[in-house]
A and B are shown apart, each in its own frame.
Chain A
Amino acid sequence: MISTRRLFIQTKWEFLLNARNSEQILLLVLIPIVILFVLAQTTIIGGDETELPLALATVLTVSTFAAGFTSLAIATAFERRSETLVFLGTTSLTRREVVLAKSLGSFLLALFAGLFTFFAAIILGWTPTPLALLVPLWMVLGVFSVSGFAYLLAGTLRAEAVLAIANGIFVVVLMFGGIIFTFGTSISNVLEFFPPLALKDLIQFSTTDASEISGVNVIKAMSTLVVWGISGHLLASRFFKWR
């Protein structure tokens, strides 16, 4: 049984606690906006054709990944260490509500960062597209696709190890996820089956007017995120230790 009232209270509480954390602001707002400016104002990456919608999609993907994976894994690992999770087990919250509130909180953080990014993009000259309204939906899917793996890490390893590994994976995804630096077709075809590039393709599809991405590709990217999400959450529910 899930009580929407308790879920709302728990999500609000954790979101506000996280949003006040200065490292989170750095990770979720500052870094993405810096990346947006660098991508949009220079030609260092992707030749001289780096367009604003592409940069926007990249940055929103980075925010979603940072919130839904890196920051969620680290926060949950430290809550496990401080026995906050055990404490929550003594409240009227069910385990499902605890986990769902965390994922929702991550999505809200990503959305919060996304709003800043959209605003920055508009300042840089991006014209909003109607399909951009779909972006929150893609971000929900994006968080879902990686949050299970965040729980898997947080629920099985020591907090310090999670801190190192989650940040390490974040850097690897930035470098080799195909979202900032693009690779040849053969590598891209593989990377499309990983959440970062799949999410970026979806966001790019909704932030570009003349879409080069077909409906088939949208279905493929969505399925990729869903399959990753289900796998991650199944693994996490099997191996997650509450303390």
Chain B
Amino acid sequence: MPSNQPQSEVSTWAITCENLSVTYPSGGGISEVNIDFGPGITAIVGNNGAGKTTLLETIAGLRTPNSGNVWVFGRSPNHWRSAGLNQVGVALQDGRPYPSAKPVALLNYLNDLYSDTPSPAGRPTVGFLTEAFSLTTKTLVKNLSGGELQRLKCAAALIAGTPIVILDEPTAGLDPQGRRDLYDVLAQVVPHQSTLLVSTHILEDLETMNGRVIALKAGRVGFDSASMTVTSSHYMTFTSRANIDLTGLRNALAEDVVISEKMNGHYSITSNTSIDAAFITSVMNFCAQIGAEVTQVNVRERGGILAEIEDILLENGSQ
């Protein structure tokens, strides 16, 4: 099939990936990815080398698929590019565009460039973006701090007013406060009807974004919250002396409860049913009986998706 042929049956999606493979001679990339993206925020997680950047850059038309197709509103990214009709605003992970320019000048120039780009949701003004992302600095792009550069790239991605926005690792190198601030601004600035793809390798970011989550694992989709359901589990940790024989505790608790010593004296308990006062009391009683002093008890409900993804990422990393 010629790759410029629009796919009528999938055109309801903003982005469609069909058996998409982009590989490199040195390894890495993505293989046989099948995903659709629609309006709303989608987080793309994965370890370094899992293929996040490759996937995003291919959707942006910066990389050519080895096989399979990617459709942006039913057309190839190349179709939109050669027509000069931007559909995707992109903040790339690497690079410092125009190092000798000032941020505001760069945004003004982009604003001029995009003045005839169709924008269904309307384009934000330079003033609005510089205000929202605190970019009024006179510092040249080459001297911007990591946080300023990330904010500038986000602003540059948004100024086109495109229906699709891709942010590749916008929180890389930011401290927790900086990350939270960035997501706050994005929540205000990105129109709700936009299809927003954000990659990250920081799991807390997923809670902040609170959208669809896709985990990439070695170039394939390992998890997609839109098509897979996960059971949430409950989680308790405590610290005591090392090498406790846990058999007695296992017998005292329900069968589906998993107990293990993670590190020297650090124990973790996972349960599919709620960890209530009675549950905690049984743990305490067991420790009291064998004379083990317990400190630092922590109980939390482990978000089902987060737990699942954490497992995928850790498993991936240990390969």
| Chain A residues within 8 Å of B, Cβ to Cβ | 1, 3, 5-6, 9-10, 13, 17, 20-21, 78-79, 82-84, 86-94, 97
Contacts and interface: CB of A to CB of B under 8 A. Distances in A.
B90 interface: yes
Interface of B: 60-62, 81-86, 88-90, 92, 94-101, 109-110, 112-114, 116-117, 156-157, 160
Given A9-B109, A90-B92, A91-B113, A83 B86 contact: no
Contact of B160 (A17, A83, A92, A97): A92
Contacts, number: 72
A17 B100 contact: yes
A5 B116 CA distance: 9
B162 to A, nearest CB: 9
A92 B82 contact: no
A55 B110 CA distance: 42
Given A86-B62, A90-B60, A92-B113, A17 B101 contact: yes
A6 B115 CA distance: 9
A153 to B, nearest CB: 20
B85 A92 contact: yes
Nearest to B82: A94
10 contacts: A5-B116, A17-B98, A79-B98, A87-B97, A87-B98, A90-B157, A92-B114, A92-B160, A93-B84, A93-B113
Contacts of B88: 90
Contacts of B82: 1, 94
Contacts of B156: 87
Given A17-B100, A93-B84, A94-B82, A86 B95 contact: yes
A91 B110 CA distance: 8
A34 to B, nearest CB: 25
Contact of A6 (B81, B84, B99, B101): B84
Nearest to A3: B84
Contacts of A82: 95-99
The 5 closest A-B CB pairs, nearest first, are A83-B95, A87-B97, A90-B90, A92-B86, A13-B109
Contacts of B117: 92
Q: Which of B109, B110, B113, B117 has the most CB of A within 10 A?
A: B113
A97 B94 CA distance: 23
B100 A84 contact: no
Contacts of B95: 82-84, 86-87
Given A9-B109, A9-B113, A89-B62, A84 B98 contact: yes
A94 B88 CA distance: 14
Given A91-B86, A91-B114, A92-B113, 14 more contacts: A1-B84, A10-B113, A13-B109, A17-B98, A20-B100, A82-B95, A83-B95, A84-B97, A86-B92, A86-B95, A87-B92, A89-B81, A90-B90, A92-B85
